[in-house]
Structure 1
Amino acid sequence: MTDAALSPAPVKASPFNELEVLWVRHWTDSLFSFGVKRPEDFRFRSGEFVMIGLPGEDGGKPVLRAYSIASPCWAEELEFFSIKVADGPLTSRLQKIVAGDTVLMGKKPTGTLVLDALTGGERLFLIGTGTGLAPWLSVARDPETYSRFGHVYVIHTVRSVADLAYRDFFTREIHDDPLIGDEARAQLTYYPTVTREEFVTPGRITDRIKSGDFFRDLGLPEGFDPARDRAMLCGSMAMIKEAGELLETYGLKEGSNAEPADYVLERAFVG
């Protein structure tokens, strides 16, 4: 019998990081955010997503879903923004986590909501619904965003005013960011809309674009200009489809990591 025959089989490396939950914030009965400790060897581009989950119950397989990383690429902790679904395979349990708990995270971030997938432009429109705001929290805190674009618009559509998570962050707190605060104050505009309650800018973002109210509110010429405007889309399937078609009517072309162009969307969340 050889030494090789006596050697134990190599242990297969886990495809997941086991990360400590650092904090949890519940915005409403249906929305929450949480932060986890970032592995020292984990690298990503602002706007990418990663698989997040929990071990399976009763020894079952882990339950994982794709989550945009809401932290910028330089952050020392990783932040995520999630919905709560009472009977959801993952979020029914994930919404109950507390500081000190452990969550699973995949080791390979990916995605198309990154600056690399866009060609050069002057204005960047980050259009999101619901938790589709998450990648904009990452992109809007990346210094490269402000060096590549003269102005950045963070657009967030939700059903009720209470769902405007991070509203205070984009209107006030980001201006005190030690890395990009000055740039954000000069170059960032936050534009929220609410569909089911009275609000200063009511309705779906696609409707406000079609009516021209969006451009009038911001003091911009009506329409998107493919020579200067770039956009990213994240959120509901209906919004992404409609907004993408609208951008196409103005002459903007969809881009990707392989072929950068005028606008991008995250197909991993579209189905």
Structure 2
Amino acid sequence: MNDVSVVQPALKAPVSLKASGAFFVETVTWVHHWTDTLFSFRTTRDPALRFSSGQFVMVGLAKEDGKPLVRAYSIASPSWHEELEFYSIKVPDGPLTSRLQHLKVGDEVLIGRKPTGTLVLDGLKPGKRLYMLGTGTGLAPWLSLARDPEVYDRFETVVVTHTVREVGDLNYAALFEHDLAADEILGEMIGDKLKYYPTVTREDFRTKGRITDLIASGQMFRDLGLPPFNPAEDRIMLCGGPSVLVDLKQQLLDLGYVEGSLAAPGDFVLERAFVET
């Protein structure tokens, strides 16, 4: 739940989930608890579900009264994968995550039938480098896009940044640092195009600080061996906490970047559907 969740209006009457047509009922196939506050899970995927890498769907459980309790989750698996993967925080008193964190293999979850979202390649103009800047579970859409061959067809360099509070929150680091390069299908396609840039704000780490500060100081570019942001060449995607997104967006606007959408592709995109939970 990308640090944030969609505010879902209350349903006016109980709904028969399988009769409503709003959700697929899928089965949990894998659960992994990274820390006391972060976990991932996978489910089966109905063949009828089609989505673009980077989009989100409504995910949830049925309440005792039959109503669905759902929130927006970015799909962490690529569009070609036969299963669906999600990356979530655990909120002890959260209406959904207080229950969702106890999922076990074999449990059923609700998956919305209508994926949507702005973090898709078609919202961007052609460019040379693609930056995917994420904080917390805002890494989720990058997990999908970084495993999508089309990303590497469109861009010469692909940078994934992940800013977290503690080192233990750098989940999926092994995927970016080792697994993707070793993948027998994706490895050759990715080659040396993919660069992973983890940063930590509250503990000592090789790269410490907010991503906004590392961009402003130029440290991120020096560390990566890349030139500073240039609207003529660099395309950027943003996902994470609302306050960070506000600052990142302003940095880009100050550099002359233009926000894009499916209707009018631009230099950068961010997900507007989320609010703080």
Fold match, TM over 0.5?
Answer: yes
Percent identity between the two aligned chains: 59
1:261 matched residue in structure 2: 266
1:110 and 2:116 aligned:
yes
Instruction: Determine the structure 1 residue equivalent to 2:234.
Output: 229
Partners of 2:66 and 2:164 in 1: CA distance: 35
1:29 CA drift (Å): 0.3
Cα deviation digits, residues 33-55 of structure 1 (max 9, x gap): 00000101111000000000000
* Structure 2 counterpart SS, 1:93: helix
Q: SS state of the match for residue 273, structure 2? A: helix
Q: Which secondary structure does the structure 2 equivalent of 1:186 belong to?
A: coil
Provide the rounded CA distance (Å) in 1 between the counterparts of 2:50 and 2:257. 31
Q: Distance in 2 between matches of 1:241 and 1:138?
A: 23
Query: Residues of 1 paired with 2:247 and 2:191: CA distance?
Result: 30
- AA partner of residue 165 (structure 1): N
Distance 1:109 1:94 in 2: 20
- Aligned partners of 1:143 and 1:179 also within 8 Å: no
Match of 2:25 among 4, 9, 18: 18
Q: Displacement, 1:250?
A: 1.3
Matched residues in 2 for 1:211 and 1:46: separation?
Answer: 31
**Residue 145 (str. 1) matches residue 157 (str. 2):** no
Post-superposition, which runs of at least 4 consecutive aligned residues in structure 1 deviate over 4 A?
Answer: none
Deviations 1:147-194 (A, max 9, x none): 000000000000000000000110001112233212323200000000
Report the AA paired with residue 54 of structure 2.
G
Residue 94 of structure 2, aligned match among 85, 88, 98: 88
* Structure-2 residue corresponding to 1:175: 181
- CA change 1:54–1:181 in 2 (3 A) is same
* 1:6 aligned residue: none
1:78 is matched with 84
For residues 81 and 74 of structure 1, the distance between their equivalents in structure 2, rounded to whole angstroms, comes to: 18
CA distance in 2, matches of 1:60, 1:101: 16
Q: How does 1:58-73 map to 2 (within 5 A)?
A: 58-73=64-79
User: 1:89-117 deviations in whole A, cap 9, x for unaligned?
Assistant: 00000000000000001100000000010
* Structure 1 residue aligned with 2:202: 196
Taking the aligned partners of 1:214 and 1:85, their CA distance within structure 2 comes to 31
Matched pairs, number: 259
Structure 1 residues 177-231: Cα deviation after superposition (integer angstroms, max 9, x where no partner): 233212323200000000000001001000111111111111122x310110000
Q: How far apart, in 1, do the equivalents of 2:185 and 2:252 lie? A: 32
Structure having greater relative contact order (Cα 8 Å, sep ≥ 6): 2
The offset of 1:270, in angstroms, is 4.0
Normalised to the residue count of structure 2, the TM-score between the two structures is 0.91
Output the CA distance in 1 between the equivalents of 2:212 and 2:262.
25
- Partners in 2 of 1:41 and 1:186 — Cα distance? 35
1:45 aligns with 2:52: yes
1:247, distance to aligned residue in structure 2 (A): 1.0
The residue matched to 2:85 in structure 1 has which SS?
strand
Question: Could you say what the CA RMSD is over the residues aligned between the two structures, in angstroms?
Answer: 1.2
Distance 2:31 2:253 in 1: 39
1:97 matches 2:89: no
Change in CA separation of 1:270 and 1:120 when aligned onto 2, cut-off 3 Å:
farther
SS in 1 for 2:191: helix
Whole-Å separation in 2 of the counterparts to 1:180 and 1:247:
31
1:193–1:204 CA contact under 8 A, matched in 2? yes
Shift of 1:60: 4.8
